[in-house]
Structure 1
Amino acid sequence: MCVTCGCSDNGNTKITDLHKGEVETIHSHTLSDGTVITHSHSHEYHAKPASEIHAQQHGTTISLEKNILAKNNSIAAQNRRWLNHRGILALNLMSSPGAGKTTLLTRTINDLKQHLSISVIEGDQETFNDAKKIQETGCPVIQVNTGTGCHLDATMIQKGLQKLQPPNNSLVAIENVGNLVCPALFDLGENFKVTILSVTEGEDKPIKYPHIFRSSQVMIVTKIDLIPYLQFNLESCIEYARQINPQIKIFQLSAYTGNGLESWYNWIVKNATNKRSA
């Protein structure tokens, strides 16, 4: 359950392997004592037009906050052990909708895929649009559709990893649902939380949405090629981020022009190498 907006586990999550044409639907039910019962079934994937896609209905059960978060954290710890045992670096990419997560991710994959094996878990409420863009890079990708859910959770990542089976000593990029609130609450078992902030959103986002920047190890200021055309104060944005999280690492880049990407890539490769030797 998302304790911020009230969406609960009582609904369906669809995890789709576009390459194999398989869909696994996960049904979860929360009992009155806080116990969550989960079961799933698989079937073949057949693309549907957007007009036939319907969102799932979720209830509101705020009283189960501790039970849900405790369950999530337990599974996240399992995910972390699974990833660490295989020397896999996992990044949880978070942002508001339209900040440029998918654009940055596809550029990163294309530029690094000759040097590093990369797999992707793609999160959206509906559609396969972004997963198809990732697939065009040749990168293995699993689509997770959360319905009315506003974030990915550890169970979804566990299922995604089981389907992906990423190779040892590789990178798993998790593109979370576009949202600057709820994804910050849920540990997925990742090594780093990376929050992406577009210059089109305004420099005050770190102080308006402090929890996600406080919980992140990395902030990426993206679309910096647009700064000359906007009233965006880069220095203020960085200062606000440092106020919230003095330790946060900050990259400034443009996935369109390539400016600043080298530092981002060097950071990824360095941390992926550290995972292999750990």
Structure 2
Amino acid sequence: MCKVTDLRQSVLARNDRGAQELREELAARGTVMVNLLSSPGSGKTALLESELGLARLRGVPVAALTADLATENDANRLARSGAPVRQVLTDGLCHLESAMVRSHVDSWLPEGTHLLFVENVGNLVCPASYDLGESLRVVLASVTEGEDKPLKYPTAFGLAHLVLVTKYDIAGAVGFDEPAFLAAVAQVNPGVEVVRTSSRDGDGAGVLLERALAVHAGAAVHRPVMARTAVQHGHAHEHGHEHGHAHSHEHPHEGAAGHTRSVDHTH
């Protein structure tokens, strides 16, 4: 058991070293990475498509990486914004790792990009444990997912710098209990900003872009207080982070950066 634990800690330590190096390199070239996490079907792609389009209209140099186990559907949608987009196919791996992102930054990311949005694999377990080198971590939750989502996934919500509630236009129809959701978020991440959004009626449009631009301009981000409860399974460990917080990691398996393929969708 100790050998398995040591291996998991070694994998995470290697990932975190790579993430910190990438964060510093991106800062040197004037790029802020935004890591978007959510469950499948939360409306992450729809929101990001809108934000990329708004950035293009405002003349903000942006790009996007979108990760999925299969298909290029999300990249095709995001490319309609006119922003440079690359689809990362993980071939079954349930999360991105810093080495995967680095390969695209080195080989593809256009010079002068101010904001790099990374749409992580739809999953609130594995992606939450991996630092990609982002400066802003955003977690999305739709009103259809249940008010106790933050309590069920404390690592994902506990490390967020910003929480977006999506599909708010149907909150009344599905009986979304907003006070209960806000209380759950506050329990795992006191003080984090929570914003309502709706891609259908435009509620919250531009909030993600504005927060990312503020970080690019040098604004400090919210410093999460990590939840005291570990994720559902596996061994957890804590370590310090450049962002100024400690967090637990859970690893059902070891990922391999070599198991990815990518497809450009730049128009």
- Contact kept, 8 Å, 2:136 with 2:212, in 1: the verdict is no
1:105 is the counterpart of 2:45: no
Q: Distance in 2 between matches of 1:166 and 1:92?
A: 18
Deviations 1:54-99 (A, max 9, x none): xxxxxxx665201211111111111101110011111000000000
Bigger mean CA deviation after superposition, 210-219 or 135-144: 135-144
Runs of 4+ in structure 1 off by over 4 angstroms are none
Q: Which residue of 2 aligns with 1:252?
A: 196
- Contact kept, 8 Å, 2:34 with 2:136, in 1: the verdict is yes
- Contact kept, 8 Å, 2:51 with 2:206, in 1: the verdict is no
Percentage of identical aligned residues? 35
- Contact kept, 8 Å, 2:34 with 2:212, in 1: the verdict is no
Q: Which residue of 2 aligns with 1:228?
A: 172
Matches within 5 A, 1:1-278: 64-115=7-58, 116-168=60-112, 170-274=114-218
Q: Distance in 2 between matches of 1:124 and 1:69?
A: 21
Structure with bigger RCO (C-alpha 8 Å, 6+ apart):
2
Q: Distance in 1 between matches of 2:170 and 2:73?
A: 25
Q: Distance in 2 between matches of 1:62 and 1:134?
A: 39
Aligned residues: 216
Instruction: State which structure, 1 or 2, has the greater radius of gyration over its C-alpha atoms.
Output: 1
Letter aligned with residue 231 of structure 1: G
Q: Which residue of 1 aligns with 2:258?
A: none
Give the 3 Å change call, closer, same or farther, for CA 262–114 of structure 1 in structure 2: closer
Shift of 1:260: 1.8
Shift of 1:266: 2.8
Q: Which residue of 1 aligns with 2:264?
A: none
Q: Distance in 2 between matches of 1:145 and 1:195?
A: 21
Q: Which residue of 2 aligns with 1:23?
A: none
Letter aligned with residue 120 of structure 1: A
Q: Distance in 1 between matches of 2:206 and 2:106?
A: 32
Bigger mean CA deviation after superposition, 263-272 or 100-109: 263-272
- Contact kept, 8 Å, 1:213 with 1:219, in 2: the verdict is yes
Shift of 1:216: 1.1
Ranges in structure 2 where 5+ consecutive residues have no aligned partner: 220-267
Shift of 1:143: 1.4
Q: Distance in 1 between matches of 2:159 and 2:207?
A: 22
Alignment RMSD (CA, Å): 1.7
Letter aligned with residue 45 of structure 2: T
Q: Which residue of 1 aligns with 2:227?
A: none
Shift of 1:262: 4.2
Give the 3 Å change call, closer, same or farther, for CA 134–163 of structure 1 in structure 2: farther
Deviations 1:193-216 (A, max 9, x none): 100000011111001111111111
